[in-house]
């Protein structure tokens, strides 16, 4: 697949007399724009960066007074994964760090959501 080289996203064309863009065509256009952006060919794109906090899992768990097993069970983490995080053998990915940050500040909110989901 070759990407169209453009510096700006293609303007939406009037559909007068033509059929509207299909879902597949829209997806292909979006992919082409994404490829162009990664190559630095599209400067008219707004990018929002979010700072994902580092969380000391052990500190959060101890503050809550929970064992590794209790914390893992309460919040749905595999116990071995929790041990690996605490021992520095691995690190939580960005979405998990966001969840851990919420657990650190508002554990009751996460517990409430998990309780309602089950």
Q: Which domain CATH number covers 106? A: 1.10.260.40
Phi, psi of 45 (to 5 degrees): -130, 135
Residues of the chain with pLDDT under 70: 1-17, 42-43, 45-46
Determine the Cα–Cα distance for residues 62 and 49; give it in Å rounded to an integer.
Answer: 31
Residues 72, 107, single domain; the answer is yes
Cα 94 to Cα 6, 38, 76, 87, distances in angstroms: 32, 21, 16, 18
Domain that holds residue 73: 57-117
| pLDDT score at 40 | 82
What total number of domains does the chain contain?
A: 2
Residues constituting the chain: 118
Residues 113, 66, single domain; the answer is yes
| pLDDT score at 113 | 92
Cα 12 to Cα 25, 41, 46, 75, 94, distances in angstroms: 13, 19, 18, 46, 35
C-beta separation of 71 from 82 below 8 A: yes
Helix or strand run (H / E) with residue 38: helix 23-38
C-beta separation of 68 from 61 below 8 A: yes
Q: Does residue 52 fall inside a structural domain?
A: no
| pTM of the shown model | 0.59
Distance of CA 100 to the CA centre of its chain: 13
| pLDDT score at 24 | 92
Phi, psi of 25 (to 5 degrees): -65, -40
Residues 42, 67, single domain; the answer is no
């Amino acid at each position: 697949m070759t990407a169209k080289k453009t510096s700006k996203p293609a303007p939406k064309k009037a559909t007068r007399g033509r059929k509207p863009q299909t879902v597949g065509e829209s997806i292909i256009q979006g992919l082409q724009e994404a490829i162009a952006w990664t190559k630095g060919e599209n400067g008219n794109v707004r990018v929002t960066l979010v700072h994902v906090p580092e969380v000391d899992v052990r500190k959060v768990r101890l503050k809550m007074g929970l064992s590794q097993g209790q914390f893992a069970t309460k919040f749905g983490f595999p116990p071995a994964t929790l041990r690996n995080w605490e021992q520095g053998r691995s690190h939580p990915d960005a979405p998990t760090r966001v969840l851990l940050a919420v657990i650190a500040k508002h554990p009751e909110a996460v517990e409430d959501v998990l309780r309602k989901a089950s």
